[in-house]
Amino acid sequence: MSAAAVPLWAALPAALLLVCGGLLTLIGSLGLLRFETFYARLHAPTLGTTLGAGCVLLASILVSSVLAQRPVLHEVLITVCLVMTSPITTMLLMRAALFRSQD
Amino acid sequence: MNVILSWAIDFALLCFSLAMLCALVRLLRGPTPQDRVLAVDTLYISGMLTVLTLGIRFGSMIYFDIALLMALFGFVSSAALAKFLLRGEVIEP
């Protein structure tokens, strides 16, 4: 049980970031479920991919740095990976949708 | 203070579960193949965030490796599926 050892000054922003990340991801997925056309649906989950994942990764960096008593920054690797790969997927899907709607 | 963090972790896990449920409904119902690929994309991102939140909860570094692998393989699968929808082939000769 490691979450018990986190002091209050680190637990409060981490909790805030986790709640924000969860809500943003949920809103993005609800947009994916509710919107009408594919082009409207394409941009809804990017809310969870960028801002939601960023919030959760910041909370993870904060908690693991406090627990290890030194800066732990290897979660930045996931952030860089997501920031680089998520627009490529979206762009390929958009081009596929444009291509398939032609014929 | 620890109550705040564990409550936030439980809330975030609930949110990610609901997000995965929404993506699953879109995956099963989606009218076009692009919708299904987009739903798979959202699904693996939500699963990766769930694993990261569990890593915060249990304080283990193994969860970070699992999340990194999920991000990498999820991108490869989504890009391959989108490329297949675009061209009809994944690796062109």
Domain assignments of chain B as residue spans, ordered by start: 2-87
Do the beta carbons of residue B15 and residue A23 sit within 8 Å? yes
Tell me the pLDDT band of A68, cut-offs 50, 70 and 90.
Answer: confident
Tokens 């050892």, residue located:
A5
Contacts of A8 in chain B (CB under 8 A): 1, 4
DSSP character at residue A78: H
Q: What is the dihedral sign for C-alpha B21, B19, B9, B77?
A: positive
Contact A89 B82 (CB under 8 A): yes
Model confidence at B75: pLDDT above 80: yes
**Closest C-alpha among A32, A29, A51, A53 to residue A42:** A32
Do the beta carbons of residue B84 and residue B39 sit within 8 Å? no
Assign a CATH topology to domain B2-87.
Helix Hairpins (1.10.287)
Contacts of B70 in chain A (CB under 8 A): none
Tell me the pLDDT band of A1, cut-offs 50, 70 and 90.
Answer: very low
Q: What is the dihedral sign for C-alpha B62, B66, B69, B71?
A: negative
Contact A38 B45 (CB under 8 A): no
Contacts of A45 in chain B (CB under 8 A): 23, 38, 41-42, 45
Taking only the tens place, the pLDDT of each residue in B23-60 is: 999 999 878 888 999 999 999 999 999 999 998 888 88
Tokens 């032609």, residue located:
A102
Contact A38 B37 (CB under 8 A): no
Contacts of B63 in chain A (CB under 8 A): none
pLDDT confidence of residue B31: 85
pLDDT confidence of residue B13: 93
A6 contact partners, CB below 8 Å, separation of at least 6: A14, A63, A66, A67, B1, B2, B5
Model confidence at A30: pLDDT above 50: yes
Query: Chain B, 35-74: which have a CB under 8 Å from a chain A CB?
Result: 35, 37-39, 41-42, 45-46, 48-49, 52-53, 55-61, 64, 67-68, 71-72
Distance from CA of A7 to the nearest CA of B (A): 7
More confident residue, A74 or B47: B47
